Amino acid sequence: MVKTILGFEEIIKPDDTSDALAAAICHSYQGELKKTMYEMK
């Protein structure tokens, strides 16, 4: 999933790196969702 979202051609190694990027992506998306919901109020 991280590979696809970031547009990488190869699988990211080591796995810990991929996990860290996945967490950062989730955090980023969550922040955007919170911002959008706040603006809807």
pLDDT at 32: 74
pLDDT band at residue 23 under the 50/70/90 scheme: very high
The domain total for the chain is 1
C-alpha span between 25 and 27 (Å, rounded):
5
Confidence band for 30, pLDDT divided at 50, 70 and 90: confident
CA distances from 36 to 12, 17, 28, 41 (A): 31, 29, 13, 9
Range of the domain at 27: 2-40
Mean pLDDT of the region 24-40: 78
* pLDDT over threshold 80, residue 4: yes
